[in-house]
Amino acid sequence: MTENQTWVTEFILLGFPLSPKLQGFLFGLFSLFYACTLLGNSIILGLIWLDSRLHTPLYFFLSHLAIVDIAYASNNVPKMLANLLNKEKTISFVPCIMQMFLYMAFAHTECLILVMMSYDRYVAICHPLHYSVIMSWRVCTIQAVTSWACGSLLALVHVVLILRLPFCGPLEINHFFCEILSVLKLACADTRLNQVVIFVACVFILLGPLCLVLVSYMHILFAILRIRSGEGRRKAFSTCSSHLCVVGLFFGSAIVMYMAPKSHHPEEQQKILSLFYSLFNPMLNPLIYSLRNAEVKGALRRALWKERSM
């Protein structure tokens, strides 16, 4: 460890270099998006908790996805909103490392939760007679705990490798939060090990799960085409299409961000991509599931009807 690293106490988040008026506008817009994220995911959680018809493995995993989205947005967005209003855009070293750990842990966990949801749909459509045995509550709980544990452990590996690096000025992070690639650029030591671990982690947590999801949905598609009932086909397409939309949005933006050649998207474009999966994805997920999922829409109607009749 060098002496420079010992005395690092804070970083400067450069954020978006915009005029004060435009920053004020973005503060209002992003605050609205953040409020919609909290409200939408909270409604999904409330519906799953209150409606016994949604007490199934699919909605068990959807509740975890809603929790991840709330936590993921709350880890990055409040600091970004504060920096849009403040002239001093500093963040202390320890909170920066914590923010980095949490955003990676939540991102990894969401990848694995999406895989569990696709596996649930695969079993439900391709092996309906064995569904209750294969997707028992014990199995679902183990899958959820494994997703959270693997996501957190992988994030911890990244943080430990970051902490071994010395940092020297200028300590300006060209981002709106402590994103790992932007922080690595400030290290005054060889970061090749970190880059290799990030690439391996992307293969394990992005490409691997995405391939599993695609294989699952190939089997699901063939199974749906064999369903004779038109109502059965519509119900299957309803739940599967909403999940595929969420998978496409999340994995697509993450793969472009971390696996595409860096020359293809400069730093400002990286900020927009980060903003997409930090704020827009968590806001869009409950909208997608509520608009395209008949069971969620039915639960919402029942909840509103019960509220009116009281």
Q: What is the pLDDT of residues 153-197, one digit of tens each?
A: 999 999 999 998 888 767 888 888 998 988 988 888 888 999 999
Confidence at residue 262, expressed as pLDDT on a 0 to 100 scale: 59
**C-beta of residue 110 within 8 angstroms of C-beta of residue 66:** no
Confidence at residue 208, expressed as pLDDT on a 0 to 100 scale: 87
State the average pLDDT for the chain: 84
Contacts for 259 with CB less than 8 Å, ≥ 6 apart: 199, 202, 206, 207
**How many whole angstroms separate alpha carbon 119 and alpha carbon 191?**
36
**C-beta of residue 21 within 8 angstroms of C-beta of residue 182:** no
* H or E segment and range at residue 10: strand 10-13
List the structure tokens of 133.
């045995």
Shortest CA distance to 38 belongs to which of 61, 7, 58, 66? Answer: 66
List the structure tokens of 264.
């293809």
**Which of 68-82, 106-120, 217-231, 271-285 shows the lowest per-residue confidence on average (mean pLDDT)?**
217-231
Letter string b/e over residues 80-113, b meaning 16 or more CB atoms within 10 A of that residue's CB: bbebbeeeebebebeebbebbbbbbbbbbbbbbb
CA distances from 65 to 141, 201, 285 (A): 14, 21, 9
Confidence at residue 3, expressed as pLDDT on a 0 to 100 scale: 44
pLDDT tens digits for 4-41?
Answer: 444 578 898 988 888 888 989 999 999 999 999 999 99
pLDDT tens digits for 169-178?
Answer: 678 888 889 9
Stretch 265-289: mean pLDDT: 79
pLDDT tens digits for 61-101?
Answer: 999 999 999 999 999 999 999 988 888 888 999 999 999 99
**C-beta of residue 138 within 8 angstroms of C-beta of residue 57:** no
**How many whole angstroms separate alpha carbon 34 and alpha carbon 202?**
27
Read off the amino acid at residue 102.
L
Quickly name the fold that domain 10-309 has. Answer: Rhopdopsin 7-helix transmembrane proteins (1.20.1070)
**How many whole angstroms separate alpha carbon 235 and alpha carbon 295?**
9
Report which of residues 152 and 210 the model is more confident about.
Answer: 152
